[in-house]
Structure 1
Amino acid sequence: MASICYILWSMFEKPDCGRCVKSQKSAKCSFHNNRHIQNKFYKPGGAVIGGIFSLIHPNIYVNNFRENPDGKFKVYSVAHKNYQHVLSLLFAIKEINKNPSLLPNLTLGCCIYDDLFDSGRTYEMIMDLLFTHQIHTPNYKCDRRKNILSAIGGLSMKTSTAMATILSTYKIPQLVYGASQTIRNGKMHFPAFYWMAPEETVQHIGIVQLLLHFRWTWVGLIVSDDDDGESFVQSLTPLLTEKSICAAFTEKIEAMNYRSSQLSFGKPLLQLKRVLVSAKVNVIIISGTSQSLNSLILFLEVYEFRRKAYIGKVWILPPQWDVTNTLSSNGFSTKTFHGAFSFFIHMDEVPKFQEFLWTLQPEETLMDFLSVFWQDAFHCQLLSEFYKKCITCRTCTGEEKLESLPGHVLEMELTGESYSIYNAVYAVAQALHIPRQKAVRDRRKFLELNVQPWQLHSTLRNIHFNNGAGHEVQYVNGKLLAGGYDIVNWIISPNLSFIKAKVGKISSTQEFLIREDIIKWNNRFNQTLPLSVCVKSCQHGYSKTVREGKPFCCYNCTLCPENMISNQTDADHCIRCPEDQYSNRNKDLCIPKVITFLSCQEPLGVILISLAVFFAVVTCLVIQTFLKNWNTPIVKANNRILTCVLLSSILLCYISSFLFMGKPGRLTCLLRQNAFGIIFSVAVSCVLAKTTLVILAFLASKPSHKMRNWLGQNVANAIVLSCSLVQVCICLTWLFASPPFPEADMYSLAGQIILECNEGSLTMFYSVLSYIGFLAIVSFMVAFLARKLPDTFNEAKLITFSMLVFCSVWISFIPAYLSTKGKYVIAIEVFAILASNTGLLACIFLPKCYIIVLRPDLNSRKLSGEKRNH
């Protein structure tokens, strides 16, 4: 198909429409290489907008192609829906020309070209637009009457840069209606670029947000093997990596163009077949030009047609690719692309555009380019010399209506690209309007105004206006300030009808919105949310650990450690519970810890208190028994004062055990260990004094022995006071240096906060115990040596047994104390106090009480003397 060029032009009347002018005498332009059109001449001084569009391209229909012996396929088709781009240009120009306040006494014109989806042909189109028709000699404008002020075009980045290579040289503004992309080649700098669509980065962020919303972390990339594909990969990959999304594969597909519309199934497509069939990837992101995407369509349709099956995936499609262009009678796109997502340029409704389409007819002024579309869309033959598709087709009646066409041929509502073209025309008109206003203010005549293309740059770069539909449009530094992309979910029915369900959006400010309730998934997924992950998600209570040598999306799941949880799926790491909480068994929830201490209300505390009270009462009974029998021989023989002090110490030891019960406080923590240490030291000192007096009494019984002078109460008092004073000094040092204090132990036991007394200094604590142990050992040794001394009421044997019990209890206490945690530490210490104290009470005083109460006959001086003489 030869290039199509079209001009609308007039100064003060309805625009004349025809072919591009070659010379003043002959206004002819070749069409299909054998047809010509006569044109009217154009008045000088006009303004023309050049348009480069993609209208004819190879399309893929299984029922339209035949397989050659070499395994190659050759197909051509018309991109019906791309004709709306041209119609939006004509509609905008018509609106502006009818608006008396925008460009009064001036009518815009346009020149339309078809690049056949080939960037190489774009150079020819630009040369033909700027210079003498079909001669393509730079700077040669023989009898050219067109005043080209700007050019609109560039659906792909490759086409845009091809246009800019020439247009930037002549400083002609270029308004690109495709998605704004980044020019990766640093050698190219095109200051005449004006993006009429949102930036490409916004679309990339929208793709990442869509993947994150549905938790798709294992995706595939299919891009065109050109600069567009490379730019897409370089821009998107860092965003995916930043959000922990992995690309399972990145495949490049070769493009088709009008020069060579043949495609061979070589290694690249065979590799694509392997990754699509074998890889466990349910989400595939596509980017590329229409030529490369047609290669993908051809591959998919041939593969699925031969195997009578289809590859069910979630396809994320680029803005410039309309799925309905691939609809065919075999229902290929219905099965393959049903449920796909597209990012379309956001647009506001333009109601008058539909009215424009309703009245559109293939009249003479539009015949040169519209005839191709009209005949292909309505399957009829126009009676004209412009374009004859077939002689067997029915004749077009001229009554055909565009609204009767199905949506996959032509949409009545303006698309995103068409809306960008619509705004581009208005931007040029506004840029022309400003110098005209200045001319009016300067009282210059309109015919003297000759605006050059380079003069529009200062206005176009920063312009703010309302288009014909009343929508506010603003460009800053050549880029659209507001706008964004609509996320469309394709719902395609078997009868080739389709719905572009708008399910979300991504704004230029990166505000993301999605509605899951109206999304329809591919039939393969049975309307359930597809999964696209390398491994199954780590559930709550687990965290991800990287597999060595694998992408970071392929990981192992490890159970969280103690007191750590993960309360979300695929947690990167576990989080520690607060100090007053602990993790449950599933490690997915922090539970408040239970506050524990040796309470008087719990069974263990009740038992210990009952024992302490019981033995304290027994001690009181023993004291009462001794007091009632104060003058009996057995009481006198054992030093009554030491006996009372010892019994009082034992009673106080039982009472001191109450300090260990209940919630620890500052006072109880200061008193419990120190009171226990001092009282026990007094008790053991009394035992040592009693044993010492037994030995001294035996030695003093010998005639003229020096020990007689040591007998008496003073010696006993000195032993008790001196031994107890040492313990008092140790306790005072402990209190002044590092006193005990109450604290909450958060970590010793899982799920519990233990309220206890911190000893302050373990060295001082063990010093107190060690000193008591030292006194007990000395008492044991002395009592053991005196156990066989002759005496009626010899206490040495009883003291030996009591000290044996005492030492056994406290020796057992140390390992039990060190290996126990929580309130049971206090319980063991209380038990040790009670056990050792009871050992003293039972071994020393119960035999005496037995004699006093049950055997009073043995408690006599006569029996005592007889036994001593014996």
Structure 2
Amino acid sequence: MADASGMCLLVFTLLLLQLPLLVRSLAGTSCFSTMKHRAHMDGDLMITGLFPLYTLGIDHSNNHDSSHEDQMPLIFKNYQFVLALAFAVEEINKNPDLLHNFSLGFDMYNIHFRAWTMFKNPFTWLFGKYRIPNYSCMRDRRSIAVLTGPLGMTSDQIGTLLGLYRFPQLTMGPFDQALSDHHKFPALYQIAPKDTSIATAMVSLLLYFSWSWVGLLTSQDENGSWVLAELKEEMTKNRVCVAYELLISSKGVSCLFKLIEVYNEINKSSASVLIIYGDNESLLDLMVCIEQLLIKGKVCIMNSQWDLTMRRKYFILGSLHVPLIFSHHHTDLSGFTDFIKAVNPSKYPEDIFLARMWFLSFNCSDADSDCVTWDNCPHDASLDWLSGYISVMTMSGDSYHIYNAVYAVAQALHEMLLHQTEDHTMENRKGTVPSPAQLHPFLKNIHFYNPAGDEVILDDERKLDPEYDILNIWNFPEGLQFTVKIGKFSPYALHDNQLSLYEDMVEWPTGTAETPHSVCSKNCGPGFRKSHQEGKAACCFDCTLCAENEIANETDMEQCIKCPDHQYANTQRNKCLLKDSSFLAIRDPLGMALACMALCFSMLTAAVLGIFVKHHDTAIVKANNRILSYILLISLIFCFLCSLLFLGCPNTVTCILQQITFGVIFTVAVSTVLAKTVIVVLAFKATSPGRKLRWLLVSGAPKFIIPICILIQVTLCGFWLGTSPPFVDTDAHSEHGHIIILCNKGSLTAFYCVLGYLGILAMASFTVAFLARNLPDTFNEAKFLTFSMLVFCSVWLTFLPVYHSAKGKVMVAVEVFSILASGAGLLGCIFAPRCYNILLMFNRNSLHGFRDKRLYSRRN
């Protein structure tokens, strides 16, 4: 205790020695060498800020004494932290509803990044000038909370120290998963929201520009691993592929080799889009590398943890000078710009950082003097004079978090003091400074709306998904970065309206207004489907033309769509067209030809019938059984006419009549030929009286052949109609672009039974006629019947394979042609020679001529 008292006495003596300098400061002059390295505003309760103000956070020098710190350049972007803290404190002190009879103040200290210098100012603040742990005669006991950041590493290191004393620490940097461990950091609270919707937001941007081939670069830490997993999952759900995946750490010598690997991977990849998720401390070396290596033609999508305004040169030389940045959305604070314009060293005389900035910017002293003479400064000088500091006029995300942190401390203090009113009067409470440890229960449950209307929650589990502003850095004017808001993402909007973007405002790295493309394979247009390449990502594919009667009416379709039966695919395979109904119509050339043939043959048969009727008393007509000849000719007329049932649009009636009429009428014709053949055989074989064959001929038994054969065929047709009758059917595949309407046979078995029965009759007629072909007689027609059955059987034997190989209307035409050909064969082979004899060879059409011929042949 004696040593400690001696130390305090020594410090007190030194303060007395500094008194003349303090007087000079009050007179308008000060020396940097004598001012403390802090910004100070007095108050009943104090908030301490520990932020890097002189460097980016990395100090590569080994000299860390006070004189060296005086020579460091002050980063005005980081100095906004001091301004945000002062702005929030003044607002709270003016608010009559917060901290009755108490005022807030603050102390702001600069900190270094290096581990051996990081604790310099924190130790001075916590334990006094002589940095004796657990003992201090210097620290202001009114301090109630500490603000740290924005780097996670500084919050981590300082948090370990403050956690020992349960001193409330509020970090304003990006949300860090590692800092959310309350066992390791029981006194630490993170102001920033979680990036719970960053993956959805970034993938929404990829989908907006149709980028499906993307590289990923993240820091090799807990945050990077968590976001990487979220990104990959969201990309997989939306069919966006990862071209390459890179993890990088700023720790160790191996980082240099990793940078070369990253550079090679990025440049050789065909992906034009690179997502970088990291922060200032983890990927700073990469940005320096990018400046030197000049990675070209890549669009960079980044998170808001990057302080791009302090790395302007890294993004102007390379292609990443126009990244798309997702920054946490926050409402603009009214009055902040006016507050900054009113800031000057006279208003804040205990702000060494402002004094140095004023000195460097407005040259307020003589060149030979180290002291600042405020009288030499312009009296109306203001920070808005400095064009290089234009970005500080708008509150940054980190500064906004400081603003919320100050309000969170004030709200917690207010609630804590309200709870103490029952035990202390207002006067007593004024003189009592609450313990920092007493603030924790109120900070953990804090939930309020700041003056801008934004919700503030410190509990990690209750934090809401953040909204994002999408920013673009314009290099205009040349060499001066200008941050432009080009869009917004809100997870609370409807799915299709979450992302809003002003595409025309985006400045692309290619220097043109055309949106870059980033795909592994070009899109498969309509008419083509994607055919995936084996062993490659799903976004790498070939384009294959759709098969016949299949279409792809959209871009990048996985499978072609088969057209319905009543439609067909056009030649481009991108549209289904309605098929035209088609059938063997009489107006078609083929139908008209067949109809003309049927009518001509039926008229010719009618003419032959007329000739036979007219010459019914002649020998040839009588000798060939004119009744059977009449029946055969009439049946042939109907055979030719029944072919007309196959022409035109089918319906149920015509479909049934086609087959039944064909089967019955041709049965009549063929059975008549069979009867004629049997009669010829009986006529020549039954020449002896008393023989049974003669009795059959005389009794008229051959005449029963026709009705018996017809009865059998009618039975078969009845069975056909009773089981599976013919019906109207459509054929959508035989003819491209047409639906053919035709008659379905129904039961093919019944159809072939009817046709087979006709074949049996024809073969029987052919066999009998063939056996009787050499019987002697002028009027013997067995040869003609043989040839007619030969033609008939040949036609229908040819019909079977041709019919089965034909499709659509051709199938119907083959059946019609077979009917006409077989009927014409019967007509020509049987009746053409007889008509020739009747009309031209008169001497052969009488018994007298026949007898003279026989007598003449005997004499010779």
TM-score (norm 2): 0.83
Secondary structure of the 2:472 match is strand
What are the residue-to-residue correspondences of 1:431-830 with 2, within 5 Å? 431-434=412-415, 445=426, 447-448=428-429, 465-471=448-454, 478-481=461-464, 483-493=466-476, 495-509=478-492, 511-522=498-509, 524=510, 526-711=512-697, 714-830=700-816
**Structure 1 position 281 matched with structure 2 position 268:** no
Indicate the residue corresponding to 1:55 in structure 2: 53
CA shift for structure 1 position 341: 0.9
CA contact (8 A) 1:746 1:754 kept: yes
Secondary structure of the 1:804 match is helix
Moved more, 632-641 or 827-836: 632-641
**Structure 1 position 89 matched with structure 2 position 75:** no
**Structure 1 position 239 matched with structure 2 position 234:** yes
Q: Deviations over 1:798-846 (max 9, x none)?
A: 2222222222222222222222222221122122222222222222223
CA contact (8 A) 1:81 1:411 kept: yes
CA contact (8 A) 1:491 1:498 kept: yes
What are the residue-to-residue correspondences of 1:262-411 with 2, within 5 Å? 266-304=256-294, 311-328=296-313, 333=316, 336-363=319-346, 364-371=348-355, 378=361, 380=363, 397=378, 399-406=380-387, 410-411=391-392
Code of the aligned partner of 1:241 = T
CA distance in 1, matches of 2:727, 2:420: 92
What are the residue-to-residue correspondences of 1:170-181 with 2, within 5 Å? 175-180=170-175
CA shift for structure 1 position 713: 7.7
CA distance in 2, matches of 1:371, 1:250: 47
CA shift for structure 1 position 642: 2.6
CA shift for structure 1 position 342: 0.9
Indicate the residue corresponding to 1:80 in structure 2: 76
What are the residue-to-residue correspondences of 1:151-230 with 2, within 5 Å? 151-158=146-153, 162=157, 175-180=170-175, 182=177, 196-230=191-225
Moved more, 156-165 or 449-458: 449-458
Indicate the residue corresponding to 1:8 in structure 2: none
Code of the aligned partner of 2:272 = N
Code of the aligned partner of 2:513 = Q
CA contact (8 A) 1:489 1:519 kept: yes
Q: Deviations over 1:395-438 (max 9, x none)?
A: 86575422233366633122333334333433443444445566
Code of the aligned partner of 2:51 = F
Q: Deviations over 1:235-285 (max 9, x none)?
A: 3223233333333333344438xxx9xx99942222233234433332222
CA contact (8 A) 1:156 1:228 kept: no
CA contact (8 A) 1:117 1:291 kept: no
CA distance in 2, matches of 1:371, 1:200: 37
CA distance in 1, matches of 2:852, 2:167: 141
CA shift for structure 1 position 175: 4.8
Code of the aligned partner of 2:333 = V
CA contact (8 A) 1:792 1:867 kept: no
Query: Percent identity among equivalent residues?
Result: 40
CA distance in 2, matches of 1:758, 1:174: 88
Indicate the residue corresponding to 1:103 in structure 2: 99
Q: Deviations over 1:91-140 (max 9, x none)?
A: 222222211123332323344444545688777777777776774746x6
Given the superposition, is the C-alpha separation of residues 40 and 395 from structure 1 closer, same or farther in structure 2, using an over 3 Å criterion? Answer: closer
CA contact (8 A) 1:60 1:297 kept: no
Given the superposition, is the C-alpha separation of residues 150 and 281 from structure 1 closer, same or farther in structure 2, using an over 3 Å criterion? Answer: same
CA contact (8 A) 2:38 2:110 kept: no
Given the superposition, is the C-alpha separation of residues 184 and 791 from structure 1 closer, same or farther in structure 2, using an over 3 Å criterion? Answer: farther
Code of the aligned partner of 1:485 = Y
Q: Deviations over 1:521-551 (max 9, x none)?
A: 12x3533222222333333333333333333
Aligned-residue RMSD, C-alpha: 4.4
CA shift for structure 1 position 59: 8.9
Q: Deviations over 1:287-314 (max 9, x none)?
A: 222134331222122334xxxxx62321
CA shift for structure 1 position 354: 0.6
Q: Deviations over 1:744-793 (max 9, x none)?
A: 33344443323233333333333332222222222222222222222333
Secondary structure of the 2:196 match is helix
CA shift for structure 1 position 667: 2.8
CA distance in 1, matches of 2:388, 2:512: 26
Given the superposition, is the C-alpha separation of residues 373 and 653 from structure 1 closer, same or farther in structure 2, using an over 3 Å criterion? Answer: farther
Q: Between Structure 1 and Structure 2, how many residues are aligned? A: 817
CA distance in 2, matches of 1:373, 1:738: 103
Given the superposition, is the C-alpha separation of residues 338 and 440 from structure 1 closer, same or farther in structure 2, using an over 3 Å criterion? Answer: same
CA contact (8 A) 1:126 1:166 kept: no
Given the superposition, is the C-alpha separation of residues 234 and 850 from structure 1 closer, same or farther in structure 2, using an over 3 Å criterion? Answer: same
CA distance in 1, matches of 2:836, 2:13: 151
Given the superposition, is the C-alpha separation of residues 264 and 698 from structure 1 closer, same or farther in structure 2, using an over 3 Å criterion? Answer: closer
CA contact (8 A) 1:334 1:493 kept: no
CA shift for structure 1 position 577: 2.9
Code of the aligned partner of 2:814 = I
Secondary structure of the 1:411 match is helix
Given the superposition, is the C-alpha separation of residues 647 and 314 from structure 1 closer, same or farther in structure 2, using an over 3 Å criterion? Answer: same
Structure index of larger Rg: 2
Secondary structure of the 1:503 match is strand
TM-score (norm 1): 0.82
Code of the aligned partner of 1:294 = L
Given the superposition, is the C-alpha separation of residues 497 and 705 from structure 1 closer, same or farther in structure 2, using an over 3 Å criterion? Answer: same
CA distance in 1, matches of 2:183, 2:815: 86
Given the superposition, is the C-alpha separation of residues 545 and 39 from structure 1 closer, same or farther in structure 2, using an over 3 Å criterion? Answer: closer
CA contact (8 A) 1:228 1:289 kept: no
Moved more, 649-658 or 473-482: 473-482
Q: Which runs of 5+ in 2 are unaligned?
A: 1-9, 19-30, 62-70
Given the superposition, is the C-alpha separation of residues 861 and 187 from structure 1 closer, same or farther in structure 2, using an over 3 Å criterion? Answer: farther
CA distance in 1, matches of 2:579, 2:441: 70
CA distance in 2, matches of 1:791, 1:606: 43
Indicate the residue corresponding to 2:245 in structure 1: 250
Code of the aligned partner of 2:288 = L
CA distance in 2, matches of 1:710, 1:191: 126
Indicate the residue corresponding to 1:9 in structure 2: none
Which has a greater percent of helix? 2
CA shift for structure 1 position 445: 4.3
Q: Which runs of 5+ in 1 are unaligned?
A: 1-21, 66-74, 305-309
Code of the aligned partner of 1:279 = S
Given the superposition, is the C-alpha separation of residues 59 and 442 from structure 1 closer, same or farther in structure 2, using an over 3 Å criterion? Answer: closer
CA contact (8 A) 1:791 1:868 kept: no
Given the superposition, is the C-alpha separation of residues 677 and 319 from structure 1 closer, same or farther in structure 2, using an over 3 Å criterion? Answer: same
Indicate the residue corresponding to 2:21 in structure 1: none
Code of the aligned partner of 2:660 = N
CA distance in 1, matches of 2:144, 2:573: 69
CA contact (8 A) 2:41 2:350 kept: no
Moved more, 859-868 or 289-298: 859-868
CA contact (8 A) 1:582 1:751 kept: yes
